[in-house]
Amino acid sequence: MKYTLSVLDVIVDDVRKVINQYLGDDYDIRYASSYDRQEQLDLAAAADFLWAGWPKVDAEMIGQAPKLKLIHKCGVGVDKIDLDAAREKKIKVYLTAGINAIPVSEMALMLMMAVMRHLVYANVNLRNKKWVQTELKGMNQHLTGKTVGIVGMGNIGKNLVKLLKGFECKILYFDVQRQSIETETALGILCKPLEELLRESEVVSLHAPATPETAQMINAKTLAMMDRDAILINTARGELVDEAALVKALQKGIIAGAGLDVFAQEPMDPDSPLLNMDNVILSPHVAGTTLNNMSSRAIRIAKNLDAFINGGEVAKTDIVVG
C-alpha cells in the first residue's frame, strides 16, 4: 500500500508532470483543485505526508489529520505552518533549504533593472501607440556602480551578491547574524546596521524571513531614511513591509520606485493603489517558482521522504521540527 501525499497548492498540469515524474511511482498523490478550506482539510485528513506551499497548515488542519507523519514545505519559509501544533502531535516538519536561491535572486535582479529602466511603463505606452523615448531618457537609471543594500544574507542573499558582482556594485548587508570575516571578504560585502544601510543604499533588496522581529521592518520611519532616488525590492515576504506606508512613500516621492513579488494580502487587494502606479512593478509571488526549479524541489522532497520512511539521513538544514 502506498503512502498518501497530499499537495495543498493548486498546481498546473506541467508542474504535476514534474512531481509525478519523481514521486508518482512511490506515493498516492492527491492534488488540490482549489484553496477551498474544506477541500484543504479533507486533503490533510487523508494524508500521510503534506506537500505544503502557499496555504496555511494551522492547528485545526493538523488536528484533523490522524495519519499525518510529516509536513514538507516546498520552499523555505515556514511562517504559514503551525510549528507548535506539529510538535504537539509529534509531526516532523522539513523544508528545502537553499532551493530557491537561484530563481529568487534572479527575480530580485530582474526587478531592480526593470524598475530602474521603467520597463513596464515603456512597454504599456508602446502597446498604446505612445513613443515615450524622450520621457524615458530623463527617468532611466542603470544598475552598474550602484550601492545595493541586502537585508538578509542567507542563501538567496549570497547568490544575489554573486549576480551583482558583474555590475560592479558596492554591496552592503544587514542580518541579525553577521557573516564571518572570511565570508565577508570572499563576497566583498560590508555589514551595516539597518538604518545605515537604508541611508546609503540606492537599491534595497529584502531577503529576510517573516518573524515577529522582522514584521513591518520597512515602515514610514525606515522608508524616510532612504534616498528619494532609491528603490525597494521585496521577493521575501509581504509581512516585512508596512504596505500602507510604502504606498504613501511612493505617492509622495519619498522613494523612487519598488519591485514587489510579495504582499501583505495574497492574492493582493484588487483595490490596492499599487496596481495603478507607474513606478511599481508587481509579480504574483512567483520568484522561487520556475519549472526547472520545481524539478529540484521534487527531487529533494522525494529524497527526504524516502529517508524518513527508511531511516535515512536528512540534511540538518532541511529539518525544522525533527
Is 237 annotated in the active site? yes
Q: State the Cα–Cα distance between residues 118 and 257, nearest whole angstrom.
A: 9
Using CA atoms, how far residue 130 sits from 139, 215, 295, in Å, is 16, 41, 41
**221 CB-contact burial (10 Å; exposed 0-12 / middle 13-18 / buried 19+):** exposed
Is 106 marked active-site?
A: no
Task: Please indicate whether residue 285 is annotated as part of the active site.
Answer: yes
Amino acid at 108: A
Cβ(187)–Cβ(181) under 8 Å? no
Catalytic residue among 72, 207, 237, 297: 237
Q: Please give the positions annotated as active site.
A: 237, 266, 285
